[in-house]
Every structure is written in C-alpha cells, then in structure tokens.
Amino acid sequence: MPPSETTFPGVPRGPGPYRVRGAGGSGVGRARVEVPARRSVHLRSAERLRELCCSNRGTFIKVGQHLGALDYLLPEEYTRTLKVLHSQAPQSTRQEIEQVIREDLGKEIKELFISFEDTPLGAASLAQVHKAVLQDGRTVAVKIQHPKVQAQSSKDILLMEVLLLVVKQIFPDFEFMWLVEEAKKNLPLELDFLHEGRNAEKVAHMLKNFDFLKVPRIYWELSTSRVLLMEFMEGGQVNDRAYMERNGINVNEISRNLGKLYSEMIFVNGFVHCDPHPGNVLVKKCPASGKAHIILLDHGLYQVLSESFRMDYCRLWQALIKADMKRVQKYSRRLGAGDLYPLFACMLTARSWESVNRGIDQSPVSASEDMEIRSNAAAYLPQITQLLNNVPRQMLLLLKTNDLLRGIESALHTRASASSFLNMSRCCIRAVSTYQRSKSHSLYRRAQISLTEALSLWQINLYELFLWLKGSQLGNWVIALLRRMQHFTY
C-alpha cells in the first residue's frame, strides 16, 4: 500500500474511489468524493423510499423521518431527500378531529373550547396540534392523534419487517433490521399520549434548576391516550439564527444552554429527549426579565440509559475530549464497536480520524472536513450498518439525537465550540463521581472521590475563565500589560 493511503484497524479498504486517503493516516474524513454513478443510485433509491413513505403514511413516514435525521451516518442523498417528510406529514380533516375528541372526551369541540383553530400549528406522522381557547379562557395546544394510526401501526411494522428480511436475503450486507426493532419498541409508547405527558412532567422536574428551560404544563383532566392538552407556548425555531438576531437573543448562549440540557440528560440523568428537531425546540425572549428561554416540545420519544451504559458512554466522551486513544478504544469496544472503534469514534463526533487523534476540542469543524465526513457516510455504509446492528440499542437514539443537535449547531455556526466540551466534561465528571461514591463503602474513599471531583471541576472553571479572558477586551488589556511589564523587566 502506498504510504499516502491509509485505513483504520478493522475497516477494510474500499476499492477505487472508496479508498481512504490522506497524509499522516487521516482515515475517515479523507475519502475522495464517490463516483457520480453511485451518487445517482443513492438519489434514485432515496426518492423511491420517500415515495413509499408518503404512500403508506403513518409509521412509514415516522421511520423515514428517523432516517432523514442521520446526517452523518447515511449518504447525503438519503438524508436530504427524506428530510422533506417533516413537512409532508398527513393532516386529519376537521371531521376526523371531531370524531377523536368526541370518542375520547365525550364532548363536542364547541362544548370544550371557546375557539378552536382549524389550521393545525403543525402536523406530524402520528398527530397534529391545534391552538384553542378553553371555556375558562386558558389558551392551550391540543395534540390529536390521526384516527387510523393506532390500528394501522402494527400492520405497517409487520410489512416493514417482511420487506427488510426479503431485501437482506438478496443483499446480505443490508443490515437495517435495527429500524424495525426500534419501531416495535418505541411506536407504542409514542402513540400513548398519557405516557408523553408523564415524560414532560418528569423532565421538567428533573431539569428544574435550569431556569431557562420551559416545558408546557399538561392539563390531565382533558387528556387521554389520543388527545393531549398542554399549555400553549410559542417562539422561533432553535435553528433560526435570523429570528434570534431580530429579537436580541444571544445565539451562543442558546447553543450553550441547549448543550447543557442534553449533557445533563445524557450523562447525569440517563433520561434523554430523543427528538430535538427544530420544530420541537423553540426559543423566546421573556419580555419581563429579558432572558432567553428554550421551550422543549414533543415528549413522546425518550431513551432511558442503563447505569453501565451511561458510565461507559461518559468515559468514552472523556477519552475523546482528552484524545486518550487507548481509552477511546477500550470504551468503544465495551459499547459494541469491536475492531471498528475508529469508525465508531468518527460517527459519534462527526469528525475525521485525524481530528479525533489530535483532539476534537483543538480546532473547529472546517467546511471541507464536514463535507468529507458526509461523503464518507456512503463510502463506509456497510461498516456503519454493521456497527448500528452491533452497538447496544440504547445507542441508536443517541446517535440520532447527536446528529439533530449537530444540525442545530451548524445552522447557528456554533459547532465544536470550547464551551460545549467544557459542559460535557463537567457532566461526565459529576456522573462518574456520583457513581463511584455509590459503589464505595469507605467514608475515606468517598471523601477522596469528592475532593478529586471538586478539583477537576475547579480546573475546568479556571480554564473557562482563561478562555473568556483570552477572548475579551479585558483579557487583551491584561495580556498587553503583562507584556509591557516583561519588556521593562528586561
């Protein structure tokens, strides 16, 4: 093999244009752009898949939306084509809405509401949301399930399973059975709006210390498994930078706070909102306080992380941030990546192998690196699908969540900022320390763990202060003063 051509351990070198290239062993993120013929096949297949989803609606649209969110894991032709499913979800008619409300609440719309807007605020694959005003004057959002979705969903999943099994027989490398397994597990929960309401209350209580987070209150007296009444909240979508600038909202603060929320959910609590697409995360400036709020909507899809998984995931991210490749390998293998651990690290971080080795906090993502990562999603598709089948099922929704959050950061131009890694590091340290204390029976050992935790957090705070000074006018004055003092000394 020529010295300019490199591969990962455990990642076979692809033929021709799929060969991994790059000086210095750069790995993923250094592949040549794939041949036009392959891109054309991907696009044609993606368009047919989109048509299949639109024709069958319901569960098929839900699965298509899930695939469309995997920006850094699937070929761009698929994700770009399937993203439109978010805006092409079916809408129930007024008669269908009245029928569901009548069956579930036992009353007509005019008996429950002073006003009820016919045009939905938003329509998704399983339900749609309308703005309404209750008889007592409260403005609410009414989420109503499409009437035929529940009855049809089990048939859709069975059909999907049969189709995927047939395709796998023809193409043995086609490893997408995890899609069906995830749909079987999550869809019944998403179709139970009472479960969604409980999730909303749980996360609101869990993150109550974050005063910038707003979760709509649930009105249980008018909620059923198919109808959910919530406090009405509005704002701009979290990826709308222009909206934030018009309303005097600090983009970096929003990005930083969103990172805090998800680091807390993933690393500390192990209870994760797994559908943070821009329509489900709104921002609004409070007129009274002037503070910017993040509004978290749609609480149907959550992932509960086991303690052992959460600890391995914490330690893996700590290793990635520190560029400790031995520990990256160790914890990637513990999470099911096996010999494909370099590819797994690149999938998690959406960075090139070169950047992972150097340290993902050392430099921001360049446009060329981002493009190379996306193009390599096609070059390494067989290995990626193999990984998705091998990793714990808890990982699948986290990968989707990671990609959705990266999409928001890219739109806001805040990707790979130092503050996001500092927040992650804080949460990982707290989570690991809490776990270690819970397993220790020695008072001395628990005190030792607490001291180590406090010192580590203090180091992060000090480093954050240094970064702030470095980027501030005050910091520039201090640096200039120190240089002048040094000049006088000599």
Residues noted as catalytic = 275
CA 463 – CA 141 distance, rounded (Å): 44
The alpha carbon of 84 is separated from its chain's Cα centroid by a whole number of angstroms, namely 18
Evaluated on CA atoms 176, 180, 181, 182, the torsion sign reads positive
Determine the residue type at 394: Q
Angle between helices 58-68 and 177-190 (to 10 degrees): 120
Q: Which residues contact 56 (CB under 8 A, 6 or more apart)?
A: 156
The alpha carbon of 100 is separated from its chain's Cα centroid by a whole number of angstroms, namely 32
Residue 412 is classified by DSSP as H
Provide the CB-side half-sphere exposure for 211 (13 A, CA). 5
Provide the CB-side half-sphere exposure for 198 (13 A, CA). 9
Specify whether the CB–CB gap between 347 and 72 falls below 8 A: yes
Q: Are strands 139-145 and 113-116 parallel, antiparallel or unpaired?
A: unpaired
Strand partners, 233: none
Determine the residue type at 344: F
Burial classification of residue 96, based on how many CB atoms lie within 10 Å of its CB (0-12 exposed, 13-18 middle, 19 or more buried): middle
CA 399 – CA 118 distance, rounded (Å): 36
Q: Which residues contact 371 (CB under 8 A, 6 or more apart)?
A: none
Q: How far is CA 424 from CA 202, 258, 339, 343, 407, in A?
A: 22, 11, 26, 21, 18
Residue with token string 């490398």: 173
Phi, psi of 5 (to 5 degrees): -105, 125
Element (H, E) at 144: strand 139-145
Specify whether the CB–CB gap between 206 and 190 falls below 8 A: no
Q: Is 37 helix (H, G, I), strand (E, B) or coil?
A: helix
CA 423 – CA 438 distance, rounded (Å): 23
CA 172 – CA 211 distance, rounded (Å): 51
